[in-house]
Structure 1
C-alpha cells in the first residue's frame, strides 16, 4: 500500500470504529504515518475528548489492523490522541467548538490577528478585538474569510 492509500484506509477505519462504539461527538482531524509505521490518529470531540475514549478507539483500531494483517510482521505502532493545544485548527467543526476562546489567526500575508472567536461558518470567522484599557477600551468585531487564513491557533491563557 502507498502512504496515501494507507492513510485513506486508516481514515475509513476510524470512521467505522467511531460509528461502532457510538462516539457520535468524536470526529477525525487528521492521520499521519511516519516511515517507521508509526500511525498517529488525531481526533477531537464536541464535548471534549477523554483519555478513556482514546484508549477505547485505539484498542478497537489496533485489533482490526492486526486481524487484517495490514502490517504482516506486526511492525507498527498506533497512537490515538487529540491534536494538542499547539496544533492549528483544521476543520470548521474545531472552530465552532472553540467559539468563545481567544485565537491567533495568521493571515496568508503573515499578518497576525488576535481576538475572541465569536462565530465560524463555511466562509468566514468573526473575532472580537479590544484595544485600549478601562474607559478608553474600544471593542470591535472583525470578519476574516477562510480563504485569507493561513492558520489559526488557540491562545492558551494562564
Structure 2
C-alpha cells in the first residue's frame, strides 16, 4: 500500500473523531524513518489548541489506530501537534483564526506585487488587510500563497 493511500485512509478515519473533540484535522503526514514510520497529525480550533487538547487528540488518534489496521504491521512514531504558524493560510478558517496578525500575501497573478499587512477581517470569500495604513481587500481566489509573519514585538490594537 502506498504512503499516499495510507495517508488518505488515516485522514478519513481521523476526521470524525477529531471533529467530535471540537478540533479540525488540519494535516496528516506520513513519512518513513528507517524501519519505522512517523505519523504527524496537526489539529486546530478557534481560539487555538491547548496542551490538554493535544493530549486528548493524541489519546483519540492512538485509540483509532489501535482499533483499526490503518498502520499495518510497521512500527511507527505518533506526533500530534497544533497547526503551527508556519503553515500557509489555505482555508477561510485559517484566515479567520489569524485576524490581528501580520500576513504576507503572494498573488496568483504575477503582475500583482506581494503585500504584507495586518489581517483585520475575514469572511468566506476574502480578507481585509491594513497595508501601510490603508485598507486592502484580498479575495481568496486571487491568492497563490499567504502566511503569517512572526513578530517579535507585540502589536498594539488601535
TM-score (norm 2): 0.80
Matched, 1:141 2:135: yes
Q: Which ranges of structure 1 fall in alignment gaps of 5 or more residues?
A: 131-138
Matched, 1:123 2:120: no
Q: Which residue of 1 aligns with 2:26?
A: 29
Q: Which ranges of structure 2 fall in alignment gaps of 5 or more residues?
A: 153-158
Q: CA deviation at 1:143?
A: 1.4
Q: CA deviation at 1:95?
A: 0.5
Structure 1 pair 19–114 and aligned structure 2 pair: CA distance change class (3 A): closer
Q: Which residue of 1 aligns with 2:9?
A: 9
Structure 1 pair 19–155 and aligned structure 2 pair: CA distance change class (3 A): closer
Number of residues paired by the alignment?
147
Distance 2:2 2:69 in 1: 15
Distance 1:15 1:107 in 2: 30
TM-score (norm 1): 0.80
Asked if the contact 2:17/2:60 (under 8 Å) is kept, the reply is yes
